Amino acid sequence: MKVSQFQNSAARWVGAAAMAGAVFAAPAVSYSQEFGPIVAPEFDAAKAELGKRLFFDVRLSGDAAISCATCHQPDKGFSDGLALSKAYPGSKGFRNTPTLINTAMRENWFHDGRIGTNLNDVTRESLTEDYSMNMDMRLMQERVKQDPVYVQMFADAGMGEPSNGGIRNLIPEYLKTLVSRNAPFDTGTMNEAAQRGLELFTGKAGCASCHSGPLLTDDARYNTGVPDNPEIWSDPMRHMTYAAFASFMGIENYMNVRRDVGAYIWDHKADGSTIGTFITPTLRELKYTAPYMHNGTMDTLFEVVAFYNEGGGDDPNKDPSLQPLGLSFGEQKDIVAFLEALSGDPLTGPEFVWEEPIPTDYPAIENWREQTN
């Protein structure tokens, strides 16, 4: 896509809205970002290869039961196919696992956007949080140092000896390799339905007011009234995990919270206006990442489009720009076709997956007493 095309689309959209008597709130947005193509980040191959092995290694979790790939599975678009993620043993997740494809180009992470710095911090958060991997990184460092394959790979990658700081740099290096490829949208091979969908997406349906830029997200947060997932509150393990999270994040009266407060969890905005806001997700690779929304409450893309066609959900904090769209059944199908055209080749196979077995035990260092630690 070219900027000019996109701006043309936007202009047509605004024009159409005006002619239709502004039946839906149509802000006169001037889209400054183009949709694509994605510019893949540069990465260091040796470091990325090392990061890949770390990503698939269960020894990076506290009890050595799960790896990053347990929830971020390559054949599911680096998501897990579940409405709510699994979490570390003894806890149960309260959010949908987001894809990691293109995550290196994001500006903030997690559905509530609580990490807005870099993937090093995201990696740290995921490794150490009690409900995700519950890893004491000092122990992680010593585990990795015990594996001669890692010791060699660290040296070969110019990373010195294994360290927890190094691990936090290497996993992000691997994540840089996870970039969409060959999506019909990018290769210019969209079918007619998808092309009609694109027109609607940037025009009448207004999706592009938030789903903009190469990843089709503005990385900003909104309340679109997505209904709560009742399982978070009916399953004591999920509710417990959420309550512990809310407690840790400093939410008052966290035992009586009965909804996912979204970005409020970290900004604590006094007027409550951020309750129920979540970061706009990328729309790439959706083909592999059902179910949808921050809590997995929608199984199909059609459900999602129909939801927005109704003007979103029911929430006092709902963003006022969400209004019923008046899309026909066919138009909704066209938007779905466009969304499907945003998915590329699966990122599977040895380029993206560490396929050799990773041992779960550790060889002893020989002549231990004679070696420096």
Tell me which residues touch another protein (CB under 8 A): 59, 61-65, 88-91, 130-131, 134, 136, 138-139, 141-143, 145-146, 233-237, 239-241, 243-244, 247-248, 255-256, 258, 361-365, 368-369, 372-373
Residue 317: name the closest of 266, 257, 250, 259 by CA. 259
Residue 334's contacts (CB-CB under 8 Å, 6 or more residues apart) are 193, 194, 196, 197, 200
Report the residue number, 66 or 325, with the smaller CB distance to another protein.
Answer: 66
Amino acid at residue number 163? S
Q: Smallest distance from the beta carbon of 161 to another protein, in angstroms?
A: 11
User: Closest distance between another protein and the C-beta of residue 259, in Å?
Assistant: 9
In the complex, least distance from residue 155 CB atom to another protein, rounded to whole angstroms? 17
Shorter beta-carbon distance to another protein: residue 30 or 373: 373
Least separation in angstroms between residue 254's CB and another protein is: 8
- Which CB sits closer to another protein, 41 or 90? 90
42/361 with CB nearer another protein = 361
User: Among residues 286, 284, 276, 296, which one has the least CA distance to residue 92?
Assistant: 296
- Nearest approach in angstroms of CB 73 to another protein is 21
Cα–Cα dist 250/81, whole Å: 30
Smallest gap from Cβ 220 to another protein, in A, equals 29
Which residue, 146 or 323, has its beta carbon nearer to another protein? 146
Q: How buried is residue 159: exposed, middle or buried, by Cβ count under 10 Å (0-12/13-18/19+)?
A: buried
| Residue 316 CB burial class (10 angstroms; 0-12, 13-18, ≥19) | exposed
The helix (H) or strand (E) run that includes residue 36 is none
CB of 67 to another protein, least distance (A): 12
Q: Which is nearer to another protein, 326 or 363 (CB)?
A: 363
Q: How many whole angstroms separate alpha carbon 285 and alpha carbon 102?
A: 9
Pick from 300, 299, 339, 72: nearest CA to 211: 339
Nearer to another protein, 200 or 251 (CB): 251
Give the residue with the Cβ less far from another protein, 138 or 158. Answer: 138
> How many helices (H) does the chain have, and how many strands (E)?
14, 2
Smallest separation (angstroms) from another protein to the CB of 297: 17
Cis amide linkage into residue 89, ω under 30° from 0: no
Which DSSP letter does residue 86 get? -
